[in-house]
A and B are shown apart, each in its own frame.
Chain A
Amino acid sequence: MDFVKRRILTSIAVFFVAINLDFILPRLVPGNAAEIFAGGTKLPSNAVNLLEIRFGLNQPLYVQYYLFFKGIFTNWPPYFGVSFNYYPMTVSNLIAQRLPWTILLIASSFFLSFYISYLLAAIGSMRRGGKFEFGSLYTSILFWSTPAFWVGMILIWVFAVYLGWLPVFGNIDFNPGSGLAYVASVVFHAVLPVITLTAVVFGQNYFVLRGAAQQALRSDYVLTAKSRGLRERTIAFGYVLRNSLLPVVSLLGYSLASLLSAVVLVESVFGYTGVGDLVVDAIINRDYPVLEGTFFYLTLIVIIGGLIGDFVLLKLDPRLRR
């Protein structure tokens, strides 16, 4: 189980680097930590004093380091302090409120983009060099080059402002109702953000799948399958694509990382109150505890996603177990 051990060790290392970055980065800024943490905020001065004491911001660095780690590891949810902008809400509660929305977006667009690139690569592998392959290659290069926020703005323009089919803003109506009406409201608000995310992300998957599919096409087992007279579709889906999945799955963590980058922009454009929108909100309000907390949770999502990918990979490819 060398592979598993190595992956888990790497994940733990990444986790610790992330926490340390979270501690170090704000404190490298010249100036008094307490001032930086509370500078330019609307906090009353007694609240600033309380924060100072709670984080030991006026104490030596090693004490701060101890308190920081204690806050994260001895509390559930991990304690990153109190948001300046949403005072007195704790960072973790704030993120917990918004995380489900972000997960809804990234999960739907992840599966959608995966499915689209899978289909494109499969059909392309049946008709190598045809118009279809040409078209899907250049479409994915086009979308790969388009900034996510701009796609979002254009979609808002066309479908929400001009055609008025879908809501312009937010993740749910003010009075969403209950039951089916509630679900419909959530879905209607999620359509455009999910399309935007899918559009900018599917290209990456497609490039990887296509490269792997072309390698698989020249392999002995595909040749054998062809000589056995199997149908083209069976070969494409059962043989070529099946074996091209491995590199895509092994890049799961990486594609999650780029998806989370795009989600920050997309949520900001659509005013979708998830974690990504919170990041942008926190920059504007210099809400450092929230920035630290979101960075921590987003990295955690990538780490966990990467590990899930590794275990799926292990299931798909028993050779790794050696």
Chain B
Amino acid sequence: MTTMQPSAIRTITSKMFRRRTARVGGAIILAVLVLILLGPFVTPYAPTASSGAADLPPSYSHPFGTDFQGHDVLSQVIFGAYPSMIVGVLAAVGAVATGTTIGIMAGYYRRMEALLTGTADVVLTFPPLPLMVLLASLYPATTQLIIVVLILVLWPVSARSIRSQVLSLKERPYVESGRISGMGNLEILRRVIFPEIAPIATAYFVLTVAAAIVLVTALQFLGIGNPDVVSWGSILYWAQQFAFYHGDWWWILAPGLMITLVAMAFALLGFSVEEVMDPRLRASAS
């Protein structure tokens, strides 16, 4: 796509993974990927079939216990990983791609600035969850729709900050020298501005994945979409209705911990990219 400077990216990556937080975040994400790929083959129970007695507390054969219908909670958590994460990741890709494009446009072209920042301000004013709920209750809440809605809600955050970065980059002397040496606008954007923006966009991507996963599980928890598809959010949707009554605290614990763990892993990665790029934010203890 572009002539990215591999050396710059490599420096940032290696700097980033020198931080313990980034390594922890990366390791968790890697572990969950392995879980998604291999987990379904090694789980002894099907997530939607009864595996024995109901309401069993955690034990050796059921490390996370069983729910009120005898489903093995560990199997559910493993099978629920994919639907919970894929939507978040795809939505973050879309949101940050949109946000980066719009942010660069708004920062670089004076004429588009008012329109694009105005739109971003408008979108940021809507409380995201009620807006998503309104949309998803009107239309059949397919996975595609949920992804589109998440993109609509999440793009302005990255667009805003990338715009302000571009605004300051634009005034740098090397942009000027590029222009003098006869580069067109598109070429400057592609070869000068974009490589500078790429690491920030990456940081936003990782942070947006975290936000998107939390939002997706919230929708699943509210029963939007199909609550019979096993996901971390839908496990909690059923748990909210039956776990207290049956006394199954283990049923609540595991899926929520997984959501938190994964979202935190992405957040840690995102914050370390940000810190590497912006030394002001560095907490020397980390």
Contacts and interface: CB of A to CB of B under 8 A. Distances in A.
Interface in A23-47: 25-26, 28-29, 36
Contact of B121 (A10, A168, A261, A286): A10
Of B259, B271, B285, chain A has the most CB atoms within 10 Å of the CB of B285
B263 interface: yes
Nearest to A291: B134
Contact of A261 (B128, B134, B286): B128
A147 B280 CA distance: 29
B252 to A, nearest CB: 5
Contacts, number: 156
B69 interface: no
B124 to A, nearest CB: 6
B210 A145 contact: yes
Interface stretch (B72-80, B104-112, B135-143, B176-184): B135-143
Contacts of A282: 137
Interface in B193-234: 210, 214, 217-218, 221-224
Contacts of B52: none
Given A150-B236, A265-B218, A303-B125, A214 B281 contact: yes
A131 interface: yes
B273 to A, nearest CB: 14
Interface residues of B, number: 49
Contact of B280 (A10, A142, A215, A258): A215
B174 to A, nearest CB: 25
Given A157-B249, A264-B133, A150 B256 contact: yes
B127 to A, nearest CB: 4
Contacts of A294: 130
A211 B161 CA distance: 14
A14 interface: yes
A17 B152 CA distance: 15
B137 A283 contact: yes
Given A25-B138, A306-B125, 20 more contacts: A14-B121, A25-B134, A29-B138, A129-B284, A145-B210, A145-B259, A145-B267, A146-B260, A148-B218, A149-B236, A149-B240, A162-B249, A168-B244, A261-B128, A261-B129, A261-B130, A264-B222, A279-B130, A291-B137, A299-B126
Interface of B: 118, 121-122, 124-131, 133-135, 137-139, 210, 214, 217-218, 221-224, 236, 239-240, 243-244, 249, 252-253, 255-256, 259-260, 263-264, 266-268, 271, 280-281, 283-286
5 A-B pairs with least C-beta separation: A261-B129, A150-B256, A129-B284, A145-B263, A145-B264
Interface of A: 10, 13-14, 17-18, 25-26, 28-29, 36, 128-131, 133-134, 137, 141-142, 144-150, 153-154, 156-157, 161-162, 168, 210-211, 214-215, 218, 253-254, 256-258, 260-262, 264-265, 268-269, 279-280, 282-284, 286, 288, 291-292, 294-295, 298-299, 302-303, 306
26 contacts: A10-B121, A13-B122, A28-B138, A128-B284, A129-B283, A131-B285, A141-B268, A142-B264, A147-B256, A149-B218, A153-B240, A153-B252, A154-B253, A154-B256, A161-B244, A168-B244, A211-B280, A254-B124, A260-B130, A261-B128, A265-B218, A279-B130, A279-B133, A280-B133, A280-B222, A286-B137
